[in-house]
Amino acid sequence: MTEIKHGDIVLQARGITKRYPGLVANDHIDFEIRAGEIHAILGENGAGKTTLMSILFGLTRPDEGEIFVFGKKVNFRSPLDAIDLGIGMVHQTRKLISAHSVLENILLGHPRAGAILDLKKTAEEVKALCDVYGYKIDLNTKVWHLSEGEKQMVEILKALYRGAKILIMDEPTSALAPPETKKLLETIQLMTKNELAIVPFITHKLPIVLSVSQRVTVLRRGKIVARLNTADATEQSLAMEMVGREVIFNLERPDVKIGKPVLQVENVSAYDDKEYWATRNISFEVREGEIFGIAGVSGNGQQPLAEVLAGLRKASTGRVLFRGKDVTNLSSLERWKRGIGYIPSEQRAVGSIGEFSLVENLLMSYYYDDLFVKWGMIDAKKVRQLTQELIEEYGVATPSPDVKARNLSGGNLQKMILARVFSRKPRLIIANLPTQGLDVGAMEFVQNKLLEEKKAGAGILLISEDLDEVMALSDRIAPMYEGEFMDILPGGSAQRETVGALMAGHKEKAVGA
Amino acid sequence: MKLAGYTLKLEKKASFTGLEAIVISVVAILVALFLVGFIFLQAGVDPAKGYQAMFTYAFANPFGAPLTINRAVFILLSTFAFIVPIRAGLWNIGMSGQLYFGALTAFGVAYVFGARTSGANLSGAIVIPLMIVGGAIGGGLAGAIPGVLKGKFNTNEIVVTMMLNFIGYWVVAHMIKEGGPFMGSGGEGEGFKLPASIQAPIVSGVSVLTLVIALLLAVLLYVLFTRTRLGYQIRAFGLSPAAARYAGISPFQIALITFVIGGALAGLAGYHYFGTTPNLNQIPKNYGDFGDMAFYGIICGLISQGNPLAAIPLALLFGGLTSGGRYVQGKLHLSYGIDYALLGVLMITLVAFQFFFRYRVVFKKES
Ligand SMILES: Nc1ncnc2c1ncn2[C@@H]1O[C@H](COP(=O)(O)OP(=O)(O)O)[C@@H](O)[C@H]1O
Ligand SMILES: [Mg+2]
């Protein structure tokens, strides 16, 4: 291979097209990537980013189109071909073996691993790589001990050790705490100094795109709609290209009188499914008209806490009061009836039933209501009419209320779930990652709906990984780390850095900040 | 795969319609009949003649047709016993055990009225309905066992219902043989004879009362699944237990209710055969045979995709295959088990066609 210079084209795609039944996921995509450049591919959910990425990595075969790597036309039969040519990939979900050590994972699949294992030499080489990028990681730790950010680091190291010159990353920041994101961005920038080409595929977090990339390609519905130099782009202009319409970023926070407590949580602890302690001695309250935000990276006990409050998991200690009455041992059905509305983080697995029509999905919150079910018989007309009204009110894009829920896009499905829960007029709303995986347009909609409910006097418990969202919406913020609240801060005056550090578990740093 | 310049690909279909399902089932049945034709050929019988004899006997013969219908009712009720839990994602393969218990309780009712000792003038109008209800209760109680175990302790319902099949069989054997209370007063090792006065009405060899009950139940179950709260809860749980639980549906209640209903329906199947066919109840071995036939309910339930109305023609077909198959076997001197062979092949073609039904082969010219 000849020496690569800064700005050389290292990878070129021409006319890449991939069709799935009923849709074109990639429609004649042309673009090129240059050495030493960060080239962000931006697009809403379902725009076709992951599809494109897996084509470039040889995981998926395109129906049409050509790929050139270092000027040569290639025909990938499998990712191995792509890896051999110097393409590395960091997937959205980690692909490491958790019972193995960092070093073993890095070595796994390396051509040299087939021959004699020279662990010592490998360790030295990997250490040298770590030094270059300022990674501090013990190569002998088992992977399951690592945080999300560290695991990602291992995947990057693995790709680099395999000799990657082009590094493709799918949603690299989605599971990271703010300090880890910062670290990742620094590393990426260092890598480009060594003429590596970096291609992150990103759904939102527009500020990140703006802060690190040199060029941006925007995908919408499988087509490229914009190619820009980042210097010429703004957050607004990028959002507009992605969504195809204007998006307003400033949420208007309504002035709402904070009332009586609707939810009081006293010393609640719970186990997770593996019977480990998941939340420990959590106490807080949520008042009428208040948004109480829990900020944290997923897996720090938010889910079990939400489930305890929704009646889907037993509290091991403590008690829960709803509007002054003890509801600790009430069934989830009884809680729905009393006015607790839960928006689960898993839209498709929990919040909806894919094989059910939208009408039947709405019934999930109405089958117990005697106004809609008489003598055990469902008043289908009435439910259908309500569904239709809600579809209109919430602007759900669907040809009919009889469409199956699985055919809705993520954003539309979430709208339908909100419509179902909010139409019950809950006094307490538990919103677990309500904007996760949504595109900017849908995200804006969901956040505004939450604010509307706040205005209507509901108490809202907002659980989110997105620091910006928590900061923008919450009246009080509790950063959560390893099952505990690190603090409870007033929303208006809390510092972004403080909350970010606390949710990553850094108590000392937070004090100084 | 590439063939002479064409690429051949399997594409998964996004969805399919009820009409397609019917077409696929019919084609699968025709293909199965075609394949089994080779067995006829091998035995030196013209397949066309063989099938003609078989279907004529099953559907147009004064002895065969009632037998077909009675068996179809039995298979239909067994199918319902399978369908109700399967719509909640739970597998009831304990129809035979449940129908033994149903038959026993039905006979328990007759016994209480003194049917064993006096051939007396019992009032059919009172005892027959009570026997039917008794059969449903007995089956329902047998169904409650796996229901509670599943709901409370998440015990594997397949294992539990299987075990209960064996237990049921031995309880029956004990009750009607070896000095059990239902033993007939005369012969050794046989159950008591049901007096004619409390025999359910038979018209031209068909047990009409249970036939009507089965057809009514088909409609009722259809309404249950499409219109009612309970049906909605069952379907929601069957499609997504996590989402159902989230919506406040209790897994315990669903497991218990569906297994009790399923068991009760199997109990009715028990009453249908043992309470209406003269003398059938007396011989222990019959219970084993009809217990096995109840398993066609599983096949029927799976092919009809849990739709109780679609199960009706299927049950009729299966009933006809068992009665007609047995008949041609004797008449044309075929080797034993032609009916089983046909059912086996039918199952395989149905599964194979379901595959093509979900996938579509596309040829594309290389560009
Ligand atoms: N294997 C597949 N079969 C059918 N449709 C698919 C498949 N993979 C992706 N799609 C569809 O292609 C579109 C693009 O998906 P994807 O590339 O994952 O988008 P993104 O990564 O931008 O969110 C979506 O509508 C998705 O549903
Ligand atoms: Mg993606």
β-bridge partners, A18: A26
Q: CA-CA distance, A12 to A18, in Å (whole number)?
A: 16
Chain A residue numbers touching B245 (CB-CB < 8 A): 312, 332
Residues having CB within 6 Å of any atom of ligand 1 = A 20, 23, 25, 43, 45-51
Mean pLDDT of A195-210: 80
Q: CA-CA distance, B160 to B94, in Å (whole number)?
A: 8
A387 C-alpha vs ligand 2 centroid, how far in Å?
A: 30
> Is the pLDDT reported for residue A391 higher than 90?
yes
Which of B296, B319, B342 marks a domain boundary? B319
Residue numbers of the domain that contains B340: 1-45+334-367
> Is the pLDDT reported for residue A140 higher than 50?
yes
Q: CA-CA distance, A424 to A421, in Å (whole number)?
A: 6
Q: Kindly compute the dihedral angle of the four CA atoms of residues A378, A381, A383, A385, in this order, to the nearest 10 degrees.
A: -170
Q: Which two tokens stand for residue A73?
A: 């036309």
Kindly determine whether residue B250 and residue A333, on different chains, have CB atoms separated by under 8 Å.
yes
How many contacts (CB atoms, under 8 Å) link A and B?
72
Asked if residue B341 is part of any domain, the answer here is yes
Q: Which two tokens stand for residue B73?
A: 């009712």
Kindly determine whether residue A336 and residue B239, on different chains, have CB atoms separated by under 8 Å.
no
Taking alpha carbons only, the member of A369, A353, A350, A370 closest to residue A361 is A353
Kindly determine whether residue B243 and residue A364, on different chains, have CB atoms separated by under 8 Å.
yes
Task: Note whether B127 and B274 are same-domain residues.
Answer: yes
Task: Note whether B135 and B205 are same-domain residues.
Answer: yes
- ∠ Cα B97 B101 B106 (to 5°): 145
Taking alpha carbons only, the member of B70, B67, B65, B58 closest to residue B214 is B70
> Which residues have C-beta within 8 Å of that of residue A474, sequence separation ≥ 6?
A291, A292, A293, A462, A491
CA distances, B163 to each of B93, B95, B96 (Å): 10, 11, 11
Asked if residue B24 is part of any domain, the answer here is yes
Q: CA-CA distance, B2 to A418, in Å (whole number)?
A: 48
Under the banding of pLDDT at 50, 70 and 90, the label for residue A513 is very low
| CATH code, domain carrying B98 | 1.10.3470
> Is the pLDDT reported for residue B366 higher than 60?
no
pLDDT at A150: 86
> Which residues have C-beta within 8 Å of that of residue B125, sequence separation ≥ 6?
none
How remote is the C-alpha of A312 from its chain's centroid? Answer: 23
B245 touches chain A (CB under 8 A): yes
The answer to whether A271 and A471 are in contact (CB under 8 A) is no
A221 C-alpha vs ligand 1 centroid, how far in Å?
A: 10
Lowest mean pLDDT among A183-197, A377-391, A440-454: A183-197
Query: What number of CA atoms fall less than 13 Å from residue A415's CA on the CB side?
Result: 23
Q: Report which secondary-structure segment, H or E, holds B204.
A: none
Most informative mutation of A26, A29, A45, A50 for ligand 1 (most atoms within 8 A of CB)? A50
Mean pLDDT of B203-222: 95
A25 C-alpha vs ligand 1 centroid, how far in Å?
A: 6
Kindly determine whether residue A333 and residue B248, on different chains, have CB atoms separated by under 8 Å.
yes
Pairing of strands A39-43, A215-220: parallel
A482 C-alpha vs ligand 2 centroid, how far in Å?
A: 28
Residue type present at position B82:
F
CA distances, A501 to each of A153, A179, B90 (Å): 19, 7, 48
pLDDT at A208: 81
pLDDT at A508: 61
Kindly determine whether residue B247 and residue A344, on different chains, have CB atoms separated by under 8 Å.
no
From B211's Cα to the closest Cα of chain A, the distance in A is 26
* A364 vs B229, B236, B367: nearest CB: B236
A138 C-alpha vs ligand 2 centroid, how far in Å?
A: 31
Asked if residue B327 is part of any domain, the answer here is no
Task: Note whether B40 and B82 are same-domain residues.
Answer: no
Neighbours of A127 (CB within 10 A): 14
> Is the pLDDT reported for residue B331 higher than 90?
no
Task: Note whether B230 and B346 are same-domain residues.
Answer: no
Asked if residue B295 is part of any domain, the answer here is yes
> Is the pLDDT reported for residue A383 higher than 90?
yes
pLDDT at B100: 94
Chain A residue numbers touching B2 (CB-CB < 8 A): none
Residue type present at position A309:
L
From A350's Cα to the closest Cα of chain B, the distance in A is 4
> Is residue B319 exposed (0-12), middle (13-18) or buried (19+ Cβ within 10 Å)?
buried
Task: Note whether B147 and B275 are same-domain residues.
Answer: yes
Chain A residue numbers touching B249 (CB-CB < 8 A): 333
**DSSP-assigned letter for residue B192:** P
* B242 vs A64, A350, A360: nearest CB: A350
pLDDT at B367: 45
Task: Note whether B167 and B208 are same-domain residues.
Answer: yes
Q: Report which secondary-structure segment, H or E, holds A489.
A: strand A489-490
Q: CA-CA distance, A248 to A23, in Å (whole number)?
A: 29
Mean pLDDT of A348-366: 96
Q: Which two tokens stand for residue B358?
A: 């979900």
Residue type present at position A114:
G
Report phi then psi at B293, rounded to 5: -65, -25
Q: Report which ligand 1 atom has the smallest distance to the Cα of A45.
A: 23
Chain B residue numbers touching A376 (CB-CB < 8 A): 228-230
Q: CA-CA distance, A42 to A154, in Å (whole number)?
A: 25
Residue type present at position A82:
A
Mean pLDDT of chain B: 87
Most informative mutation of A20, A169, A223, A440 for ligand 1 (most atoms within 8 A of CB)? A20
Q: Report which ligand 1 atom has the smallest distance to the Cα of A48.
A: 17
pLDDT at B188: 61
Which tens digit of pLDDT belongs to each residue from B181-199? 887 766 666 778 888 888 8
Chain A residue numbers touching B12 (CB-CB < 8 A): 21
Taking alpha carbons only, the member of A303, A292, A323 closest to residue A426 is A323
> Is the pLDDT reported for residue A512 higher than 60?
no
> Is the pLDDT reported for residue A2 higher than 60?
no
> Which amino acid residue places its CA nearest to atom 27 of ligand 1?
A46
Taking alpha carbons only, the member of A373, A9, A335, A359 closest to residue A165 is A9
> Is the pLDDT reported for residue A510 higher than 60?
no
Neighbours of A113 (CB within 10 A): 13
pLDDT at A409: 84
Q: CA-CA distance, B351 to A416, in Å (whole number)?
A: 36
What's the predicted TM-score (pTM) here? 0.79
Q: Which two tokens stand for residue A148?
A: 């999300």
Q: Where in A323-475 does DSSP place strands (E)?
A: 325-326, 340-343, 373-374, 377-378, 428-432, 459-464
Task: Note whether B183 and B93 are same-domain residues.
Answer: yes
When mean pLDDT is compared over A449-463, B19-33, B302-316, the highest value belongs to A449-463
A77 C-alpha vs ligand 2 centroid, how far in Å?
A: 22
Neighbours of B144 (CB within 10 A): 17
Q: Helix, strand or coil for residue A9?
A: strand
Chain B residue numbers touching A363 (CB-CB < 8 A): 232
- ∠ Cα A260 A263 A268 (to 5°): 145
Taking alpha carbons only, the member of A428, A290, A411, A497 closest to residue A45 is A411
Task: Note whether B64 and B176 are same-domain residues.
Answer: yes
pLDDT at B214: 97
Q: Report which ligand 1 atom has the smallest distance to the Cα of A53.
A: 17
Under the banding of pLDDT at 50, 70 and 90, the label for residue B365 is low
pLDDT at B9: 63
Which tens digit of pLDDT belongs to each residue from A451-492? 999 999 999 999 998 888 999 999 999 999 989 999 999 988
For testing the chain B interface, which of A338, A345, A364, A371 should be mutated: the one with the most B CBs within 10 Å?
A: A364
Which tens digit of pLDDT belongs to each residue from A63-118? 999 999 998 999 999 888 999 999 999 987 778 888 888 888 888 877 766 666 67
Asked if residue B329 is part of any domain, the answer here is no
B11 touches chain A (CB under 8 A): yes
The residue that leads in pLDDT, B4 or A213, is A213
> Is the pLDDT reported for residue A430 higher than 70?
yes
Task: Note whether B101 and B176 are same-domain residues.
Answer: yes
Overall domain count for chain B: 2
- Looking at this predicted complex, what is its ipTM? 0.86
Task: Note whether B242 and B161 are same-domain residues.
Answer: yes
B247 touches chain A (CB under 8 A): yes
The residue that leads in pLDDT, B12 or A347, is A347
Q: CA-CA distance, A326 to A251, in Å (whole number)?
A: 35
Lowest mean pLDDT among A177-181, A279-283, B40-44: A177-181
The answer to whether A249 and A233 are in contact (CB under 8 A) is no
> Which residues have C-beta within 8 Å of that of residue A47, sequence separation ≥ 6?
A219, A220, A221, A222, A242
Pairing of strands A166-170, A87-90: parallel
When mean pLDDT is compared over A239-243, A351-355, B276-280, B351-355, the highest value belongs to A351-355
Q: Helix, strand or coil for residue A343?
A: strand
Which tens digit of pLDDT belongs to each residue from B84-96? 999 999 999 999 9
* A21 vs B14, B233, B367: nearest CB: B14
Taking alpha carbons only, the member of A167, A175, A193, A140 closest to residue A6 is A193
Neighbours of B310 (CB within 10 A): 21
Asked if residue B326 is part of any domain, the answer here is no
Place of tokens 């699968």: B28
The residue that leads in pLDDT, A68 or B328, is A68
Domains (ranges, CATH) in chain A? 9-243 (3.40.50.300), 261-503 (3.40.50.300)
For testing the chain A interface, which of B87, B232, B360, B362 should be mutated: the one with the most A CBs within 10 Å?
A: B232
- Protein residues with C-beta less than 5 angstroms from the ion ligand 2: A 50
Task: Note whether B135 and B261 are same-domain residues.
Answer: yes
> Is the pLDDT reported for residue A330 higher than 50?
yes
Kindly determine whether residue A377 and residue B13, on different chains, have CB atoms separated by under 8 Å.
no
Pairing of strands A325-326, A317-322: antiparallel
Asked if residue B217 is part of any domain, the answer here is yes
From A103's Cα to the closest Cα of chain B, the distance in A is 38
Q: Helix, strand or coil for residue A170?
A: strand
Under the banding of pLDDT at 50, 70 and 90, the label for residue B307 is very high
Task: Note whether B156 and B298 are same-domain residues.
Answer: yes
Query: What number of CA atoms fall less than 13 Å from residue A15's CA on the CB side?
Result: 4
Mean pLDDT of B223-230: 96
pLDDT at B362: 63
Kindly determine whether residue B227 and residue A378, on different chains, have CB atoms separated by under 8 Å.
yes
Report phi then psi at A32, rounded to 5: -135, 155
pLDDT cut 90: percent of chain A above it:
52
When mean pLDDT is compared over A355-369, B151-165, B337-351, the highest value belongs to A355-369
The answer to whether A271 and A278 are in contact (CB under 8 A) is yes
β-bridge partners, B359: B12
Q: CA-CA distance, B321 to B327, in Å (whole number)?
A: 10
Mean pLDDT of chain A: 89
Chain A residue numbers touching B235 (CB-CB < 8 A): 356
CA distances, A218 to each of A8, A148, B197, B294, B311 (Å): 22, 27, 83, 60, 53
Asked if residue B281 is part of any domain, the answer here is yes
pLDDT at B364: 60
Q: CA-CA distance, B252 to A85, in Å (whole number)?
A: 56
* B230 vs A22, A346, A376: nearest CB: A376
Q: Helix, strand or coil for residue B294?
A: coil
